[in-house]
Structure 1
């Protein structure tokens, strides 16, 4: 018995494009959307020149330092490997007035100005209230200024603000009454020394965009970290 084949056999329907397999769809789509910032980072040079303040900005800043009695030397551009460096570095020897910075520290003018304004406006007056009229700030001892490294000296992660000349770590403050206040955790210290240090730390947030007080984390137990990193809308991070 023979069977007649239909003149027009049915043709299997093609699957529409939108029903393609999941694997095909995923392969066709980009793995991730690249933001403008990420794209910029990908094409940015690995060893860019350090940013340079314009002449007017630098002149205004150094004039303000001079008015506050800050003593400094303008150094040659520091252009270290990677993103480390300072376009117009200063070597600061006197932090404010006749108060030495020991040892002398290398930083941007903006950092030096924030330090001088903070010392003059809050640290020195607060010392007179805490330790008696006539008490003068005699020395600011720093633990670190410019150094080419990552944050917290890690081998990976983001570059430190120290590597851009934006930061200074305060180790201790010495006063004319002979007292030296080491920067150690004093959150629960009910003495005038504790009150003074907490006042100094809180007021620093008006001048620096980052303030990490002694005891704020494991890597800041014996100094106060201050930096002038620029964040969106002037955001401050102070602990």
Structure 2
């Protein structure tokens, strides 16, 4: 009798597990952005795998441009950059966004996956946060650039920065339509709406980029958010600090 009860218990546990998996699959079918094998779509809400899918576009410029075209994002392709003297530097998937909030300085060239994530970040994270905290929209996003042929932390040796292939961007602040300015350097340490806004948009960026580094990481990032789409293969590990 005891053995029969044990078997019935095991069967019940297995049945419940199978049912839970079935219900999860049914739920996820209504949210393709939460499935790892579906294509990313900028018109869909941010999902569990949106960031990884965007980072994977580093090796597929045509698909990345198709993604932007499908979402109606305005941009222009940038001339490729190659360095025969430093083959680790350069890019062939650069674009200049002509849509969304203005980027200052203007004319910023980004790798396509970084630009796609930036647009999605503005749409789904930055602008809603600005409306909640300030009742205004972001008119300008200020930055310290993207492409820079250099190694990590500007060292003379060691690994190469994602900036070396335009796969990173450094965001320094925001200007709202009502003239309010928000600075990572000045406003991150404080309290109030500006600090809360900065933390919210930092956390949101972590859903879209492979790496996000803020003043919480180290002193070298005290004045900006570093956001990159480093390709880390099957592991897909992400950094958010």
TM-score after normalising by structure 1: 0.69
Name the CA shift for 1:172/1:107 in 2 (closer, same or farther; >3 Å).
same
Does the Cα contact within 8 Å between 2:58 and 2:112 map onto a contact in 1?
A: no
Aligned to 1:159: 160
Displacement of 1:148 in angstroms is 0.6
Structure 2: tracts of 5 or more residues without a match: 1-56
- Deviation by residue 1:151-210 (Cα, 9 ceiling, x = unmatched): 111222211100011100001111112111111275653301111100000110000011
Q: State the distance in 1 between where 2:87 and 2:186 align.
A: 34
Structure 1: tracts of 5 or more residues without a match: 1-51
Find the structure with the greater CA-based Rg.
1
| Greater helix fraction, Structure 1 or Structure 2 | 2
Q: State the distance in 1 between where 2:163 and 2:238 align.
A: 17
Q: Give the CA RMSD over aligned residues.
A: 2.1
Does the Cα contact within 8 Å between 2:58 and 2:231 map onto a contact in 1?
A: no
Which of 62, 67, 75 pairs up with 1:64?
Answer: 67
Aligned to 2:126: 123
- Deviation by residue 1:86-119 (Cα, 9 ceiling, x = unmatched): 1222233x3x43x111222122111100111111
Query: Larger relative contact order (C-alpha < 8 A, sep ≥ 6)?
Result: 2
Aligned to 1:83: 88
Does the Cα contact within 8 Å between 1:68 and 1:116 map onto a contact in 2?
A: no
Q: State the distance in 2 between where 1:76 and 1:126 align.
A: 34
Aligned to 1:6: none
Residues matched between the structures, number: 181
